[in-house]
Amino acid sequence: MLSPLRVGVAGLGTVGTSVLRRLDGQSGALRQRTGRDIVVTAVAARSRDKDRDLDLTPFQWFDDPVAMARSSQIDLFVELMGGSEGEAKRAVQAALESGKPVVTANKALLAHHGMALARLAEANHAALAFEASVAGGIPIVKTLREGLAGNQVESVQGILNGTCNYILTRMEEEGLGFAQCLDEAQRLGYAEADPSFDVDGFDTAHKLAILATLAFGVALDISSLHVEGIRGITPADLSAAHELGYRIKLLGIARRSENRIDGRVHPTMVPKSSALAQVGGVTNAVTIYADAVRELTLIGPGAGGEATASAVVADIADIARGVRSAPLGMPVDELEPTRVMPVREHEGGYYIRLNVRDTPGAVARIATRMAERGISFESIVQKQAPRRGGESGTVPVVLITHRTHESALGAALDAVTIDGYIADKPQVMRIESR
């Protein structure tokens, strides 16, 4: 049997402590599957005194994770601290420079510095594994990097943030407002005290950048992705979607578009018949379209200590076996430079909700403005709002367009706004037909 693999774990929050428990509880099975013992010998965290309901006395304690990454007491560095800069980045760099393999769950670090870290790993013949960085317990990284190596991937899209999916599910099922559902998500621990990273779409964007690089073999700049969050979604939108045969999901979408990538994060209307529409609560799901397998959807827990620890331990087991894949699926120097298609060039169907002033000819004038830019409608739903005090109010009007360009739609809505027939900013969502 090979000598034990000595592991150092930096970060002892929910995921880090779950990893320690799983490595201990599965030690026998891991020995049988990898042919060697996997032993945690060192740990690092911000506070030594925090109550973690875990005996840390068997491990060497490091106050400095960078020092642990360089230590001769470990063979493998596991980074679970989080953050794209600071100690997490320095410690991962130190481990790779020392020729040590690294396992991380840090999506932000990879989204911002993945190319540089992969190049450093290649130069030092060290593994860089990050299955846990996207979609928790779903093995999406291995699926794209290894399982679909014989396919040309056309697109990858998914529900990549459990907090947003939970909020949208509650809003749809119970008719609640965004703020109330967010409060409940925070109470249950699904959302942070500052939920901006989740609900404004940035968490999904980090994960999408990683998936797009793996799916298409491209060097993708995360700052070029179009990102929208879910704060503006209302119960009225969810109700209208339901009536029209759709559900609203926050999706990360990356698709080949000639010599560019169509990459975007935004609330999306998806048909109820689609696999992604069936996924509720905090669950994640990713759908891949490729030439050989056609459509493949993976569904599972996208967050939480146990689910994420499962992915971390799977990477540790691969390294114990001696498995070392190119971190990004191919050498960094072979990744193709790419441009992300501006969202104004997107072409597809759109959902539009307008609060139209209740005056004669308003809806007809709006339709004329749309027609002037070549926009036609699949459906128009108008619900008469009650008048108050005998005065005209506004009428909710929902439009579903046929396929059109976003730039044309934007110009038409600008004209409608200038005409003064609508009372509020239009609500617009893109529709994904598959």
| Co-location of 281 and 181 in the same domain | yes
Q: What pLDDT is stored for residue 385 in this prediction? A: 57
Q: Residue 28 CA to chain centroid, in angstroms?
A: 34
Residue 129 shares a structural domain with residue 145: no
If pLDDT is split at 50, 70 and 90, which confidence band does 52 have? confident
pLDDT tens per residue across span 95-134? 999 999 999 999 999 999 999 999 999 999 999 999 999 9
pLDDT grade for 1, boundaries at 50, 70 and 90: low
pTM of the model: 0.91
State the amino acid at position 336 in one-letter form. E
SS3 content of the chain, % helix, strand, coil (to 5): 40, 25, 35
How far apart, in whole angstroms, are the C-alpha atoms of residue 82 and residue 357? Answer: 49
190 and 62 in a single domain? The answer is no
Residue 207 is among the residues annotated as catalytic for this protein: yes
CA-wise closest residue to 146 among 302, 309, 339, 315? 315
* Amino acid sitting at position 334: E
pLDDT at 76 over 60: yes
Provide the residue range defining the domain that includes 380. 344-431
Residue 156 in any domain: the answer is yes
Q: Are residues 147 and 33 in the same domain?
A: no
Among 301, 328, 355, the domain boundary falls at 301
Q: Name the region of 328 (left: φ>0; alpha: ψ -120 to 50; beta: rest).
A: alpha
pLDDT at 53: 84
Query: Domain holding 144: CATH number?
Result: 3.30.360.10
pLDDT: is 382 or 104 the higher one?
104
Greatest CA separation for the chain = 87
- Residues facing residue 351 across a β-bridge: 400, 429
Residues 6 or more apart whose Cβ sits within 8 Å of residue 56: 12, 43
pLDDT of 390 > 80? The answer is no
Q: Are residues 352 and 291 in the same domain?
A: no
Residues whose CB falls within 8 Å of the CB of residue 288, separated by 6 or more in sequence, listed in order: 143, 144, 148, 153, 155, 156, 215, 295, 296, 297, 298
The model's pLDDT over 214-243, given as tens digits with 9 standing for 90+, comes to: 999 998 888 899 999 999 999 999 999 999
- The catalytic position among 89, 142, 207, 249 is 207
pLDDT digits (tens, 9 = 90+) for 235-292: 999 999 999 999 999 999 999 987 899 999 999 999 999 999 999 999 999 999 999 9
pLDDT-derived band of residue 384, with 50, 70 and 90 as boundaries? Answer: low
Distance CA 139, CA 134 (A): 9
